[in-house]
Amino acid sequence: MSGARISKDLIQFSVYGVFVEAEDTSPEISMSAIIRPAISIEVTPDKLDFGKLAPGDTSNRNDITIKNNGTCTIYVTTDVAEEGNLYKQGLEIDGNSLESFNVTVVKNILKTPYVALNVPKTYEGVGSKTGTLIFWAEGVN
């Protein structure tokens, strides 16, 4: 085949060309995800009022809800931040002292323990007493 003959044969055909510029023309899909934390708890209500009490009195029971919003089973314990020791000595959670209370909560499940205040008979403080009930959670294997 000579160069002239190839040229003659090409004249008899229609040739169409499509050109794509080399810009960013690849198909794309945007993606997003919200990753839940492994350990996440929600406790309600956010305030407890035990009322007016005297030494030796026990308050009414206040139900609280502990909800496991995380992705694993959790083990929950409690502590108190306060000035003095009224709550450390007298707080009762589900019939247990503050130090001995614990509960295991499976993911997406809630527990509803009660909280009451037993004012020690020997308690000498007067007036309004405040504190913060703290919940600690750790993952269970």
Residue 39 burial (C-beta neighbours within 10 Å; 0-12, 13-18, 19+): buried
Average pLDDT taken over every residue of the chain: 87
Tokens representing 92 are 């009762």
Angstrom distance (rounded) from CA 55 to CA 124: 8
**Domains in the chain and their CATH numbers?**
36-139 (2.60.40.1090)
pLDDT by residue (tens digit) across 95-135?
A: 999 999 999 999 999 999 999 999 999 999 999 999 999 99
pLDDT tens track for 71-93: 999 999 999 999 999 999 999 99
Phi–psi pair at 23, nearest 5 degrees: -75, 180
